[in-house]
């Protein structure tokens, strides 16, 4: 039943997408006569079909319907509920269904927003048509090369051996499924990290669709930017959170103690994030000063293309990585989609850019827009560096036939200085006036923060370690934070004095008066915290490997670790072996940690589950490497202030969320702006 429902959903969605594409362009060219509501049925069809396909897949998974090949190959009856649901995106075909479902939801929100305008809307109709083309591609893949609703015609003992794409053929259900990849059922984060990334990825198609529509109409201006602002922010917030959750997943599941390794799949999510971040900034310049119009088209096309490139990299199997899917026909299909997207979108831009771009000249480099330009250039260089490092092995392979890896040193050496440059623009940029900045004004705004940062750094140098990157991270990080704090304090204090309000109310008012600006400032503070956290935890970490027999105690990072005993237990989907480690600090038992090895039925190798004791001072991280009756081998890690990495990372999202949720302040209530002129 799930197969029939699913195929039905995919069919409805596909037909609706094709109709949406044709009708959308028709409405766009005849928009003065035809209202957007003409697109109602295709949009409803796409939304309904997308929901139906997603539901059918989940029903199949939750009801252990092993007559569906996807369920037989990626789930078992003993898989815990959460991972059963998450199995919908744990493998290739299912992840495309989630993609299509999210796209359908975005199409519907674009339609509703367009309908609310109550006037002919050529821009919105064109954007819907573009999104119709994109969803035609994804639902088309589901019906052909990546069909998640294939039925099992020949069952193996565990899983499915032969399949048919037609739901009405005689299905032969496997008795039991094979189960998800062990790595993907080892931590609850697996259930939320991929959907968040996908919302971020798919959301970037909205500004792209509007940009394409604006190019086709040949009308420039800020209309498309203004209208896509909310979607861009939402996509960016989810993309950010998805990347941070991915780091957390890596830290908690992979047992190597790290959260970022410049792995191609990590880079695949980081590149569109960099481009989207640049876009958020340059979009602000265009709305405010009408500049960077062409550049914004380039950025939005690049961001969307990079999301497709990322999808391609993770699903083509051409790059080696921890979390890539296996090789399949989806790889070539995505490659062609990417190629066609690039040719059509940049081609359209090349032929139409003179119609949409008429930019006022930059008055002075020493201005807010000058700083934004600098930040955009740095972000573009950063994206290019990551792109080069990620693709270099492929390019070399294609040219010389030899295979080569690009390692962490390459990325670190370039990313660290670029990161520090970005911090510098983050500190000075937001307090630089628009148009032309006088040195005296800027100096007055950074003088005290700079002194504060220098003082903190001096204390750090006296009492701490003197590695250059730690010193620079603390100096620039505290500088960024202090500049924002001074700015908020200054603006709110003046208001509090003139209106006799208390300071808390005044500062809340300030932050609400210009949510775009202050959301950005929250994100800047967050990045500063993140950078300090990364620098400290990476440079001041301790690591050791010990072998212990029961009763042994070892000293590590100020803790006495005693190996109490071994334990094992059977859980619904796995066999768990672990070591109980008592952690004593200053004569007091502070924790009992249980690093484990999990053995899954369908996995040859066991998966380590590290156990972490976090505190404000840092994380004690124990990972089990080997275990037998006589002894355990443990990797011990101490990462100081690692919480700053997670706190900073999530606070970046909060900045975006602030800008989105608090937007459109009631004008009559908020008369002044918190932003310096």
Closest CA to 224 of 291, 126, 365: 126
* Residue among 200 and 264 whose Cβ is closer to another protein: 264
The span of 181-189, 314-322, 571-579, 665-673 binding another protein (CB under 8 A) equals 314-322
* Residue among 251 and 518 whose Cβ is closer to another protein: 251
* Residue among 435 and 625 whose Cβ is closer to another protein: 625
The span of 11-19, 317-325, 362-370, 425-433 binding another protein (CB under 8 A) equals 317-325
Provide the terminal-to-terminal Cα distance of the chain, rounded to the nearest Å. 63
Q: Is residue 498 part of the contact set for another protein (CB under 8 A)? A: no
Q: Is residue 404 part of the contact set for another protein (CB under 8 A)? A: yes
The span of 34-42, 116-124, 370-378, 396-404 binding another protein (CB under 8 A) equals 396-404
| Cα–Cα distance for residue pair 287/675, rounded to 1 Å | 15
| Cα–Cα distance for residue pair 591/581, rounded to 1 Å | 8
Q: Is residue 420 part of the contact set for another protein (CB under 8 A)? A: no
Q: Is residue 358 part of the contact set for another protein (CB under 8 A)? A: no
| Cα–Cα distance for residue pair 303/203, rounded to 1 Å | 11
| Cα–Cα distance for residue pair 592/576, rounded to 1 Å | 17
Nearest approach in angstroms of CB 606 to another protein is: 15
Q: Rounded to 5 degrees, what are φ and ψ at 162?
A: -130, 150
Closest CA to 627 of 578, 589, 662: 578
The span of 270-278, 287-295, 316-324, 654-662 binding another protein (CB under 8 A) equals 316-324
Enumerate the β-bridge partners of residue 565. Answer: 580
| Cα–Cα distance for residue pair 427/529, rounded to 1 Å | 13
| Cα–Cα distance for residue pair 246/43, rounded to 1 Å | 32
The span of 370-378, 405-413, 566-574, 588-596 binding another protein (CB under 8 A) equals 405-413
Q: Which of 113, 396, 461, 564 binds another protein (CB under 8 A)?
A: 396
Q: What angle do CA 528, 533, 538 make, to 5 degrees?
A: 135
Residue with tokens 């850019």: 353
For 391-420, the three-class secondary structure string (H helix, E strand, C coil) is HHHHHHHHHHCCCCCCCHHHHHHHHHHHHH
Q: Is residue 218 part of the contact set for another protein (CB under 8 A)? A: no
Q: Which of 256, 420, 452, 650 binds another protein (CB under 8 A)?
A: 256
Q: What angle do CA 189, 193, 194 make, to 5 degrees?
A: 130
Q: What angle do CA 174, 178, 179 make, to 5 degrees?
A: 130
For residue 634, what is the DSSP state?
Answer: E
Closest CA to 636 of 542, 537, 539, 550: 542
Q: Is residue 391 part of the contact set for another protein (CB under 8 A)? A: yes
Q: Which of 132, 148, 331, 419 binds another protein (CB under 8 A)?
A: 331
Q: Is residue 323 part of the contact set for another protein (CB under 8 A)? A: no
Nearest approach in angstroms of CB 312 to another protein is: 8
Q: Is residue 410 part of the contact set for another protein (CB under 8 A)? A: yes
Nearest approach in angstroms of CB 238 to another protein is: 24
The span of 127-135, 372-380, 420-428, 631-639 binding another protein (CB under 8 A) equals 631-639
| Cα–Cα distance for residue pair 305/26, rounded to 1 Å | 26
* Residue among 110 and 538 whose Cβ is closer to another protein: 538
Q: Which of 183, 318, 359, 381 binds another protein (CB under 8 A)?
A: 318
DSSP E strands in 20-159: the ranges are: 151-155
The span of 68-76, 197-205, 404-412, 559-567 binding another protein (CB under 8 A) equals 404-412
* Residue among 77 and 326 whose Cβ is closer to another protein: 326
Q: Is residue 215 part of the contact set for another protein (CB under 8 A)? A: no
Q: Which of 585, 613, 625, 663 binds another protein (CB under 8 A)?
A: 625
Sign of CA dihedral 144, 146, 152, 157: positive
Q: Is residue 257 part of the contact set for another protein (CB under 8 A)? A: yes
Q: Is residue 359 part of the contact set for another protein (CB under 8 A)? A: no
Q: Is residue 335 part of the contact set for another protein (CB under 8 A)? A: yes
Contact residues for 242 (Cβ-Cβ < 8 A; gap 6+): 193, 194, 196, 197, 198, 199, 200, 269
Sign of CA dihedral 268, 269, 272, 277: negative
- Write out the two tokens for 112: 């509703």
Q: Is residue 538 part of the contact set for another protein (CB under 8 A)? A: yes
- Cβ contact 569:545 at 8 Å: no
Residue with tokens 């959750």: 245
Q: Is residue 637 part of the contact set for another protein (CB under 8 A)? A: yes
Q: Is residue 402 part of the contact set for another protein (CB under 8 A)? A: yes
Nearest approach in angstroms of CB 263 to another protein is: 9
CA atoms within 13 A on the CB side of 192: 10
Closest CA to 583 of 553, 542, 540: 553
Nearest approach in angstroms of CB 610 to another protein is: 11
Q: Which of 29, 44, 166, 346 binds another protein (CB under 8 A)?
A: 346
Q: x/- binding map, residues 544-573, to another protein, per CB under 8 A?
A: -x----------------------------
Q: Is residue 261 part of the contact set for another protein (CB under 8 A)? A: yes
* Residue among 191 and 212 whose Cβ is closer to another protein: 212
- Could you list the residues that contact another protein (CB under 8 A)? 256-261, 312, 316-320, 327, 331-332, 335-336, 338-339, 342-343, 346-347, 350-351, 354, 391, 393-398, 400, 402-410, 412-413, 534, 537-538, 541, 543, 545, 625, 635, 637, 639
């Amino acid at each position: 039943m799930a197969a029939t429902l699913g195929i039905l959903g995919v069919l409805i969605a596909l037909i609706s997408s094709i109709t949406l594409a044709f009708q959308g362009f028709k409405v766009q060219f005849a928009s003065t006569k035809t209202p957007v509501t003409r697109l109602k049925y295709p949009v409803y069809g796409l939304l309904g079909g997308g929901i139906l396909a997603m539901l059918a897949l989940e029903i199949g998974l939750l009801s252990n319907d092993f007559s569906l090949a996807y369920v037989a190959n990626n789930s078992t009856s003993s898989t815990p509920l959460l991972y059963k649901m998450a199995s919908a995106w744990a493998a290739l075909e299912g992840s495309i269904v989630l993609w299509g479902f999210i796209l359908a939801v975005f199409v519907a929100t674009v339609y509703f927003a367009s309908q609310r305008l109550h006037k002919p809307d050529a821009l919105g109709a064109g954007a819907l048509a573009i999104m119709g083309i994109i969803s035609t591609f994804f639902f088309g893949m589901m019906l052909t090369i990546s069909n998640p609703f294939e039925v099992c015609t020949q069952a193996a003992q565990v899983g499915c051996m032969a399949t048919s794409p037609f739901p009405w053929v005689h299905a032969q259900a496997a008795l039991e499924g094979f189960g998800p990849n062990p790595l993907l059922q080892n931590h609850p984060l697996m259930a939320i990290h991929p959907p968040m990334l996908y919302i971020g990825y798919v959301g970037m198609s909205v500004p792209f669709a509007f940009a394409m529509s604006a190019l086709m109409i040949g009308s420039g201006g800020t209309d498309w930017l203004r209208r896509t602002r909310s979607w861009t922010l939402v996509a960016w917030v989810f993309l950010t959170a998805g990347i941070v959750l991915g780091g957390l997943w890596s830290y908690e599941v992979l047992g190597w103690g790290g959260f970022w390794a410049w792995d191609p799949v990590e880079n695949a999510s980081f590149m569109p994030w960099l481009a989207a971040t640049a876009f958020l900034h340059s979009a602000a310049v265009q709305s405010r000063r009408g500049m960077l119009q062409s550049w914004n088209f380039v950025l939005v096309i690049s961001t969307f293309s990079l999301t497709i490139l990322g999808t391609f990299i993770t699903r083509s199997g051409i790059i080696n990585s921890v979390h890539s899917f296996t090789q399949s026909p989806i790889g070539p299909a995505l490659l062609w989609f990417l190629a066609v997207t690039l040719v059509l979108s940049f081609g359209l831009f090349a032929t139409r850019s003179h119609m949409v771009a008429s930019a006022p000249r930059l008055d002075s480099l020493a201005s807010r827009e000058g700083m934004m330009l600098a930040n955009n250039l740095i972000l573009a260089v950063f994206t290019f560096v990551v792109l080069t490092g990620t693709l270099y092995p492929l390019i070399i392979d294609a040219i010389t036939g030899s295979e080569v890896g690009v390692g962490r040193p390459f990325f670190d050496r370039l990313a660290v200085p670029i990161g520090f440059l970005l911090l510098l623009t983050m500190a000075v940029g937001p307090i630089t006036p628009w148009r032309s900045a006088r040195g005296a004004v800027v100096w007055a705004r950074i003088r005290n923060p700079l002194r504060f940062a220098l003082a903190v750094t001096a204390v750090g140098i006296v009492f701490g370690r003197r590695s250059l990157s730690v010193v620079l991270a603390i100096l620039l990080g505290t500088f960024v934070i202090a500049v924002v704090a001074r700015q908020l304090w200054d603006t709110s204090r003046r208001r509090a004095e003139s209106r006799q309000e208390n300071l808390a109310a005044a500062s809340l008012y300030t932050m609400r008066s210009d949510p775009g600006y202050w959301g950005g400032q929250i994100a800047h503070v967050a990045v500063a915290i993140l950078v300090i956290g990364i620098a400290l935890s990476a440079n001041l970490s301790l690591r050791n490997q010990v072998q212990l027999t029961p009763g042994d105690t070892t000293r590590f990072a100020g803790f006495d670790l005693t190996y109490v005993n071994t334990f094992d237990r059977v859980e619904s989907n796995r066999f768990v072996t672990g070591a109980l480690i008592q952690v004593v600090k200053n004569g007091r038992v502070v924790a009992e940690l249980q690093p484990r090895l999990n053995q899954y039925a369908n996995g040859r190798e066991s998966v380590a589950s590290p156990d972490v004791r976090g505190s404000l001072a840092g994380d004690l991280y124990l990972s089990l490497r080997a275990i037998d009756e006589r002894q355990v081998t443990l990797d011990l890690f101490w990462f100081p202030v690692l919480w700053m990495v997670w706190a900073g990372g999530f606070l970046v999202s909060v900045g975006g969320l602030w800008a989105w949720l608090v937007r459109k302040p009631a004008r009559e209530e908020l008369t002044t702006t918190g932003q310096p002129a």
